[in-house]
Structure 1
Amino acid sequence: MAVLVPNYPLAEAVLPKDASQGGPELCTAVLKAAVAALPVPSPASLERFQKQVQSLSQELTQRLLGISDLEERLIGIGNRDMMEANHLNHFRFLSAYLANPNPDDLVSTARWAIRTYMAHGFRPEYWRVMLPTALELLGKRLPKDVAKDIAPYYGFLAENLELLLPTPEEQPEASLGLTGSLPPLAARYLELLLEGDRRQASSLILGQAAGGMPVRDIYLDVFSPAQRMLGQLWQENRISVALEHFATAATQMIMSQLFPYIFAQGADQPRLDAGFVGCCVQGELHEVGMRMVCDLLELEGFDTWYLGANTPDKAILDFLAEKLRSGAGRTKPILLGVSCTIAQGVPFVERLIQALRSDARLPDVKILVGGLPFLRREDLWLKIGADAHARDAAEATQVVRRLAGLTEVGA
């Protein structure tokens, strides 16, 4: 049974049809206005939709795998696994978005996803097939009233696909070197990693540390820009996911090698009667950013505990409770940092916050959140119940000090 898409606003109904000729700002305004006019599904519809995310993803993949010329015409050679991952991410993102709707989130994420997958060989025709197929599956898997609540969002994406596609100006510059826009030291570091030479990359960083370069500067002026560029290179399909994973793992290894310098430089700061527990929410595998925050706070005199990627809620709460109960020797962790880099992880952050707020063992723990979803929507941290958010590792150290009632470094 196919679902008839109910009336929904097309971008052309909000601003003139030639809006795409008015530049990216006007085009974005068109799209955001169209999204803002879409009806928000009822809580009951959203709950039914969320329960079907896995099955919808699997069936959508099976439908498209039945297309004989799938790779040649739609997704590019060898991209079947990537397509399957995209389908699951698509439904997870939409369910997370509908729980906390914001027009900028939908427009920016759709553009990012389309640009990224096109850089890896997907063609616009893929979305022209995928979106109507997904819409048909809504009618098959969901009650009619629920499908009707969700359908307008597919109508928006399908009808405005041309405005979401990257323009020629947004295509990566093939003439630019892979590290050309980075500061010299960060550029050399990333070049070594892209060459697969982690020994020399490690030697370069450890040599800088031994020569007196503060670990804080290494983190903020070398690792941070290098990691951002690494992600951009993968997004533009200029490096493989394997090389991106290798380079990130190498950076984590080198961060561990810097621990003696962290402790030595941190010894110059008075130890603070405050602690910080850092974690990555359930399903979150990007952990370098939170590791950096913990290490930078260690440098400033905090006791820090980094719990790693994809940490279960109960493990986080129990760890906090144990530290509060024991006093950790001389200090207590009054702050929790939660990292989330993908929109579909936001419901897990909110769930963790709600669980912490209702846990009688944790009456005064303050919560800092960070990651891309909170950059795209700066009021999101407040909406889900956090105490603050930070845009990057440097700002995170300042915000943590404020939440802990500290102002000046060493105070």
Structure 2
Amino acid sequence: MTIDIQQLTNDFLEGDQDRAWDRIAEHKILMEDSHLTYEALTKAMQRVGKLWEENEISVADEHLATTTCDYVLSRYAYTRKLTSKNTNGPRALFLCIEQEQHYLGLKMISLLFQEYGWQTKLFGANLPLEHVIDTVEEWDASVVGISVSIMSHVERLNHYVTELEGLEKTPEVIVGGRLAAQYDLSKYCSKETIVVPNLDQVRLWLENRKGGDGHV
């Protein structure tokens, strides 16, 4: 893969949606392999995050980069004909816990599930627990993916996991996000919770599930 991550980062920061998309679309391998595409987008947004942490860019710059990356993800999904409505596929919903705003990684995971034939619902940022539970029960979701990126939110993560895994019809709970890659979150989860530090682990889980229960 020869895409220039620094140039892609600059496209995000400038809000240049078309140029950012062109950088992806001009590489055939990226249009054929979502893993490489998500990896490139993740690296670019990690650079944005580092610049923000070092006060090199403003909050407004970070928000513009996020919406530009979101556009590229949506256009990629449309071009690849990914769909959340895979008839007869198992059901998974994805959300950020309350007050958590970072959703791009979660969106990539949702799209990856779609590639494997799952029906998905992506709720994005800041979803209160009561709405999560209502949707799980009404929609009969078998998997709930939760993103957490800020350390002050991990106690809230524990509450989400406990309540979801205590439902009569218990969904599998998958926890990801920046903190999952940086810290051991096991004490905020249960033995049944699946913690995925990166997209490679998500893909591996999907491959194992594909071969294990015949749903996908």
- TM score, norm. by length of structure 1: 0.47
Pair 336,410 (structure 1): closer, same or farther in 2 beyond 3 Å? closer
| Aligned amino acid, residue 198 of structure 1 | Q
Which one has more relative contact order, counting CA pairs under 8 Å at least 6 apart?
2
Work out whether 1:228 is the aligned partner of 2:46: yes
| Identical-residue share of aligned pairs (%) | 21
Describe the shift of the 1:255–1:358 C-alpha distance in structure 2 as closer, same or farther (beyond 3 A). Answer: same
How many pairs does the alignment contain?
213
Contact 1:369–1:381, Cα closer than 8 Å, also in 2:
no
Task: Select the structure that is richer in helix.
Answer: 1
What secondary structure does 2:117 align onto?
A: coil
One-letter amino acid of the counterpart of residue 251, structure 1: C
2:150 partner letter: I
Distance 1:345 1:255 in 2: 26
In the alignment, does 2:33 pair up with 1:214? yes
Larger strand fraction of residues: 2
Q: Is the 8 A contact 2:181 2:198 kept in 1?
A: no
Give the SS at the match of 1:307.
strand
> 1:350, 1:343 → 2: CA distance?
12
Cα distance in 2 for residues equivalent to 1:306 and 1:209? 27
Q: Deviations over 1:126-149 (max 9, x none)?
A: xxxxxxxxxxxxxxxxxxxxxxxx
Task: Find the aligned partners of 1:231 and 1:409 in 2 and give their Cα distance.
Answer: 39
AA in 2 matched with 1:248: T
Give the C-alpha shift of residue 254 in structure 1.
1.6
What is the aligned partner in structure 1 of residue 177 from structure 2? 371
Gaps of 5+ in 2: none
Task: Please give the secondary structure, in 2, of the residue aligned with 1:341.
Answer: coil
Q: What's 1:337 paired with? A: 145
CA shift digits 1:241-294 (9 cap, x unpaired):
211110111101121112223326x8xxx9774222111001100000100100
* Correspondence 1:199 to 2:199: no
Say if 2:203 is the partner of 1:384. Answer: no
Matches of 1:184 and 1:409, distance apart in 2: 37
Q: Distance in 1 between matches of 2:75 and 2:28?
A: 10
Structure 1: give runs of 5+ residues left out of the alignment: 1-181, 325-332
Q: Which residue number corresponds to residue 237 of structure 1?
A: 55
The reply on whether 1:257 has 2:65 as its aligned counterpart is no
Secondary structure of 2:36 counterpart:
helix
Tell me, in whole angstroms, the C-alpha distance in 1 between the residues paired with 2:188 and 2:159. 12
Question: Take 2:2 and 2:58, find their aligned partners in 1: how far apart are those partners?
Answer: 23
Q: Rg larger in 1 or in 2?
A: 1
Q: Which residue of the partner structure matches residue 107 of structure 2? A: 291
What is the aligned counterpart of 2:7 among 188, 194, 200?
188
Deviation at 1:202, TM superposition (A): 2.6
**Alpha-carbon spacing, 1:315–1:191, altered in 2? closer, same or farther (3 Å):** same
Q: Residue type matched to 1:348 in 2?
A: R
- Distance verdict in 2 for CA 1:307–1:212, change over 3 Å: closer
Runs of 4+ in 1 over 4 A off after TM superposition: 209-212, 407-411
CA contact (8 A) 2:24 2:30 kept: no
State the one-letter code of the partner of 1:384: C
Residue aligning to 1:396: 202
Cα 1:196–1:352 shift into 2, 3 Å: closer
RMSD of aligned Cα (Å): 3.0
- TM-score of the pair, normalised by structure 2: 0.84
